[in-house]
Amino acid sequence: MRIEIWADVVCAWAYIGKRRLERALPGRSGTEVVWRPFRIDPTAPARAVPLEEALRDPLMDEALRACAPGLSPARNRARISRVAAREGLGPPWGSRWRVSSHGAHRLIALAYEHGGPSVQGAVAEGVMRANFVEGLDIGDRAVLGEVAAAAGFPLGAELLDGEAGEVLVRELLLRGKARGVRTSPTIVVGGRALAGAQPPEAIADFLRGGERERPVPAEVERMRWAESLMDQRDPLGALVMLRPLLEEFGEDRGVRLLAARACFASAQLNRARAALESLVGEFPGDLCVRRLYGRALERQGRDEEARPHLRLAAAADG
C-alpha cells in the first residue's frame, strides 16, 4: 500500500502528523510512505525573514488568526508547542524564519526520485527538524545540502544548484490541487483522503480502508486531474496535466477535446480553433465540439464562420 503525505515542511502540524503516522504504522508490512508538496504560504519570500519581524505584518497576523479561529497567533503557537512536546518534538521548538519552502520541496521530491521512500523520509525528517527544532533557515541551500548529506542523499546539494526538480514540484503541486488537497498534512491512499494531523487511532482506521483500493491506470488518473483543474478554473494547470497524454494519446478524442477546452478557457484561441476545426472535420455530429468551435470563431471576430456551427448546436438544444 502506498501512503502519500501532502504537506508543507513549514507547517508544524506536518511534523506532528508525521510522528502520529509513525505510531499508526507498526506491524504494517509492504507499506510505502511518499511525501508530496503543499504550500500553506505561497507568498513567502525566497530570502528568509525573521519570523518575529514577519508577524508584525498585519496581513500575516490576519492569515494566522484565520488558521486558528478564536486564538491569537501567540496562543496558537503555544498550543502547538505543547502538542509537539507530547509527540516528542523539542524542546526547543518553533520556526525562527518565514521563507519559501520551494527549495525544500525540490530536495524532498528529488530524494524520492534518486533514493526511494526511505531516503525521502529521512530528508523530510531532517528538513522539518532543521526548521522547527534547530531553528535553521531551510531556504538556505547550504542548510539543505547538510540535511541531504546527513540523510544519506549527498547528491542533493548538487542537484539543487541546478534546475532539477523544478518541473516535478510544480506538477506535483497541481496534482495535489486536482485531487482536492486543501490542508497540510493530508494523507491520501488511493482515492481516499484524511485531512489534518489526526490521532494515531484515526489514522490506523483510515489506513485499514485503503487496503481495499483498486489501482487506477495512470492515464485515467491524469485525465481526471486535468478535468478537476478545469472545474477549478485552472486551464493552464489542466494543460500541464494533459501534456504527457497529448504526446502518448494524441489521437484520442477525449484528450483532444479537453485540451481544446483548456486552450479556449485560457484565451489561446488560435490553438483552440485549430484543434476544434480538426475535431469538427472528424466528428461532424458532435454538437459539443461544434458549439465550442463556433464560440472560438466568434471570440476571434469571425462571426460569419461561427454562425452555422452555433445555429446547429442551438437547434439541437431546442
Cα torsion for 132, 169, 108, 2, to the nearest 10°? 110
Asked whether 56 and 133 are in contact (CB, 8 A), the reply is no
The CA-based diameter of the chain, rounded to the nearest angstrom, is 72
> pLDDT per residue over 185-203, tens digit each?
999 998 889 999 999 999 9
Q: CB neighbours of 110 closer than 8 A, spacing ≥ 6?
A: 153, 156, 159, 160, 164, 165, 168
- pLDDT at 211 > cutoff 60: no
Domain 2-210 class in CATH? alpha beta
- Ordered DSSP codes for 234-252: -HHHHHHHHHHHHHHSTT-
Whether omega before 91 lies within 30 degrees of 0, making that bond cis, reads: yes
Confidence of residue 318 (pLDDT cuts 50, 70, 90): low
CA distances from 7 to 103, 176, 226 (A): 14, 10, 21
The mean of the pLDDT values for the chain is 91
Amino acid making up residue 132: F
3-class secondary structure for 191-211? CEEEECCCCHHHHHHHHHHHC
At residue 81, the 3 state secondary structure works out as helix
Three-class secondary structure of residue 34 per DSSP: strand
Q: What CATH class has 218-317?
A: mainly alpha
- Over residues 231-258, mean pLDDT: 96
Cα–Cα distance for residue pair 121/299, rounded to 1 Å: 50
pLDDT at residue 1, rounded to an integer: 86
Residue with cell 496581513: 59
Q: Where in the chain is the domain with CATH 3.40.30.10?
A: 2-210
pLDDT in tens, 250-291: 999 999 999 999 999 999 999 999 999 999 999 999 999 999
Indicate where the chain has its CATH 1.25.40.10 domain(s): 218-317
Please tell me the predicted confidence (pLDDT) of residue 213: 60
* Res 313: pLDDT: 86
pLDDT higher than 70, residue 102: yes
* pTM given for the model: 0.87
For a pLDDT cut of 90, what percent of the chain falls above it? 79
For residue 36, the model assigns a pLDDT of: 98
